[in-house]
Amino acid sequence: MKLFGTDGIRGRVNEYPITPQTVVRVGMAVGRILFKRRGKNMVLIGKDTRLSGYMIESALTSGICSMGMNVTLTGPIPTPGVAFLTRTMRFDAGIVISASHNPYEDNGIKIFTPAGYKLPDELEREIEELVLAENGFTNGKAMGGNSAGGNTAGLIGKAFRLEDAAGRYIEFVKSTIPRTVTFDGFKVVVDCANGAAYKITPTLLKELGATVVSINDNPDGKNINAGCGALHLEKLQEAVLRHRAHMGIAHDGDADRTLLVDETGGVVDGDRIMAVWADDLKAEGRLLNNTVVATVMSNLGLQRYFEARSIRFIRANVGDRFVVEKMLEEGCNFGGEQSGHIVSLELNTTGDGPITALQMLNVLKKSGQPLSQLVSGVTLYPQVLKNVRVAVRRNIDECPPILAAILKAEKQLGQSGRVLVRPSGTEPKIRIMVEGPDKSLIDGIADDIASAVTASMV
């Protein structure tokens, strides 16, 4: 049974694969693979604010230590903070316990390499094979340890705590803008999603002089992403208008993404963020190879926007991991997703919500324009997104009714729109995206495809 999805291991807590038993085996597999390489002998583990984080943290730590590796714990910290600390403190791996934007009932495990990148496919397969092998941790000879599969008593690892992890990350984020820049006179509302950045982003903006109104910053283990954050912008929009703020900032549970709200209450998604930020990078001569990498979900309007500015536009598969892989392959340094994962490789190795917020606030200050005006040049096509929950995910290519509905839609839209139907990499859903010049037309097309999916898979 497959462990890894689009973004690590993810599922419902206390159901496979997010059970203590399986998580211990994941820890043992990670520890065993790293122990054989004999690096610094240290693994960093961070987490978001989910109640189940304590259980998973303990299980992972137990498995890793049993293989002779040491563990350093950060407590709640954004996913990009773990990537940063893994890279700069020279850990052998970094692990984030989070299910990102999912509700608290879910949790997951993301693993970073020593360089701060998501694991490549071959390492995921190696971990998966060890975890799923029937005798992987019970055959002492196979594992090179004792009869239980781990190291002998004198060779097991220890667990430590990094007390200043959040402070180190905050100082790093602040260092991504010039030291002379402050945000005195700016009022900002931050929706922390009751997640990993509930202290981080408000603190760093206050330290840079901004007046900060912080909402959804009181995590209780169960309210992460609950009607708040990047997936639920209504409260942020209301707060921006009520407080007459210059900008609203919304993170998801592990703060690797950011969406914005302008001073009029309008939503600024990842596509518009990429447009504004890329323009600024190009103006400063920092847009490497004059290229931006987005995903198949990014709006056709963004593509047209970059074409008009002679900026090369490349699409990757959905997932910031695939965006980064494409960026490295193409030799460029900027890209992201419509959902708010924005990656600047000159600053960090993965989507970084606090850095995105800070950079956009800096662009706003340099421009002297309100955010609504700054993004007004980006004309996005109407887009409909539908998610159909399915009992069993079948290959779309094996479902003639779905293929027929897609072919019909593509003929209706021609060159003026796009259709994308794909299985979710993190949930039992089929995701449908339709965009085009006419909202009523694409609504009907999306409904037709959703009906075909329901008839074929539900």
Rounded distance between C-alpha atoms, residue 442 and residue 211, angstroms: 41
Give me the residues of the chain with pLDDT under 50, please. Answer: 139-144, 146-147
Predicted pLDDT at 415: 87
Which residue, 96, 100, 101, is CA-closest to 56?
96
298 is catalytic: no
**Cβ neighbours for 398, distance < 8 A, ≥ 6 positions apart:** none
In the set 52, 62, 66, 100, the catalytic residue is: 100
- Class of domain 4-163 (CATH, top level): alpha beta
Q: What is the model's pLDDT at position 139?
A: 45
- Same topology for domains 4-163 and 168-374, yes or no? yes
CATH superfamily name and code, 383-457 = Alpha-D-phosphohexomutase, C-terminal domain (3.30.310.50)
Question: Given the structure tokens 């796009």, which residue do they identify?
Answer: 418
Query: What is 168-374's CATH number?
Result: 3.40.120.10
Q: In the chain, what are the domain boundaries? A: 4-163, 168-374, 383-457
